[in-house]
Structure 1
Amino acid sequence: MSFATNRLGELPDATAPDGSEVRVLCSTSRGSLAHFTLPPHAVSRAMAHRSVEEVWYFVSGRGQMWRRWHDREEVVDVEPGVAISIPVGARFQFRSVSPEPLTAVGTTMPPWPGDGEAFAVDGIWEPTV
């Protein structure tokens, strides 16, 4: 293991299965950190993860996050300063409700394993990305 130092790139490294732009920041053997961007007034695809859990911290824009896990379901308003968790297997979908992109920094534990990790589920909003 060595040190990693990265800067937020201007162009995305990938498109997440939910349709948001992903800029990879750093990764270790136990977790990874990425920056997610959803365009203004866009709605992500609803997803769930097979083996990873995530913690997101919103840094710009305003929006809403829907999550359902077992018998709990909620929609929360998100904006800079709000953090949310996404447990393994939780269904989630998010949308931007502002004229600026909705952006978050998210930690994935363990690191993102690749294709096949996320799978589509029914959400509460019609996706636009």
Structure 2
Amino acid sequence: MSISFDKAFGVHQYTLGVRSRRAEVLASNIANADTPGYKARDLDFSQALQQAQGAQGFNMATTNERHFGLNVENLGALKYRSPLQADTGDGNTVDLQQERSDFMQNSLEYQTSLEFMNSKISGLLKALKGEQ
């Protein structure tokens, strides 16, 4: 009898990769808060999640045929964020408070999915061992 990871983990197996990629984008925005002309970007989460669940799936360049494919670089289209504040004159559109808030929210949601996956894996291990 095989285990269906889609049924066992639901959407959480896909959200981890998407949230990880979004954390990279938000961190890049924060790092470039003082870079003249830098335009803040964000990941369209729902589009990226649909791509992760869809036929494209994840495809990572692997070094061994036994490796799993995972490509979070091409998940969802990166979009430029509309600035909420007036232009400061240098063309930078990063709102540091918004980026930090979004980063923290994304981190909490990542942690939630990770905890859910951990509990599911623990449950599967208990079932395999015959424990209650």
TM-score range, shorter chain: under 0.3
Q: Report the TM-score when normalising by structure 1.
A: 0.25
Whose helix proportion is higher, 1 or 2?
2
Larger radius of gyration: 2
Whose strand proportion is higher, 1 or 2?
1
